[in-house]
Amino acid sequence: MDFKLNEIQEMVRNMARQAMSGKIAQQAEQIEEEGKVSDELFGIIADAGLLGVCLPEEYGGIDAGHIAMAAAMEEMGKVSGGVASTVLVSISFLESVKNYGTEEQKQKYIPAGIAGEFRGAFAFTEPDTGSDPKQIKTIAKKEGEYYILNGVKRFITNPQYNGPIIIFAKDEGTTNSITAFLVDKGCEGYSLSTAWELVCVHGSQVYDVFLDNVKVHESCILGKHGDGFEILQGTVAHSKVLICANYVGVMATAYEAAVRYAKEKTHRGASIAKFQAIQLKIAQIAGRLQACRLMTMNLAEESDDHEKINRLKAWVGMTKAFVGDETVQVCLLCMNVLGPYGLAKEYQVERNMRDALLMPHVEGVSDMQRVIAASYILYGNDNLV
């Protein structure tokens, strides 16, 4: 495809750029220090229509597609990892309801979610597993029209904000029958740990979620009973598109800082950009950034056809692993261009470098993503390259 954005996609990108440029940009460091994105700042994103970019117009969305959403997410990633993270997970929740929910569930959650009335979340990862559904220990016990959920989820984003959360649980007495449940975060039996202290993305904290006899009506099952792992794979496939775009934004900010520094920093009266060592680094950074951006946009295009979700699962594993590893290398090169100034908080590259460390480990570690992609390449029916 032609990766030049069309009029609607360009409009969405500009909407995101404008939304991020004012109060959010001014409070980016405050977000990092406080570890949260206030309702006021989240409301700026919602008011700009950015929570509904790839959701149907009938529910209040823009229906502009995932390329537009990726362009918007890149702009968010340039300014604040905390904002990008809470928005990403909120959108992933809404997309999951769109793709797998009943009409009643769509009407209940999507319009309100687009309006920013809540921040959705989803919880699969546990202390003993992050990829293998057979290792899930959260149990759903059937009692009449209800299910009783017990277990612990780990490293969950947005569980502290009001709203719904998708909980993946194993049916009692089964080996790998996983069901997805829509649960109110404020319900009886739902509680949180203290926030994990991570080296990165301080503006978006993660928690353990404790489920102690949480009672959920059978009407709150998302999709079909037993389809939880398929729903998880589809949801995470779409969310990985957004996280790749987010980290393209992180790389872009670091790149811009490195170029600016190389032009402004002088040695014996001339810019250090004259040194070939600096030129080589800048060229590497630019090439790697552009490769990641093009792969992400190609992935976004694949995302618009949910009927081809299996092909997306293959592409997303390959792309996410590539972008994850390249993000670390690009930010490290940018820090090297700045030398000791790259370590200073006054220069955002230090934050970019820390945030980059998350990318190879979130939404599936890089090596696992390559294994997933290889399984489709070797045993699937699609030629991916």
Distance CA 67, CA 82 (A): 21
How many other C-beta atoms can be found within 10 angstroms of the C-beta atom of residue 343? Answer: 12
Kindly state the helix (H) or strand (E) to which residue 281 belongs, with its residue range: helix 276-303
The sign one gets for the Cα dihedral 135, 136, 142, 148 is: positive
Q: What is the CA radius of gyration of the chain?
A: 21
Q: What are phi and psi of 289, to 5 degrees?
A: -60, -45
Q: What are phi and psi of 273, to 5 degrees?
A: -60, -15
Active site residue 346: no
What's the DSSP call for residue 173? T
Among residues 32, 126, 350, 363, the one annotated as catalytic is 363
Name which of 133, 66, 109, 118 is nearest 87 in CA terms: 118
CB 294 within 8 A of CB 340: no
Distance CA 75, CA 214 (A): 38
Beta bridge pairs of residue 126: 129
Quickly list DSSP for 19-54.
HIIIIIHHTHHHHHHHTS--HHHHHHHHHTTGGGTT
End-to-end CA, the chain: 15
Q: What positions carry a catalytic annotation? A: 363
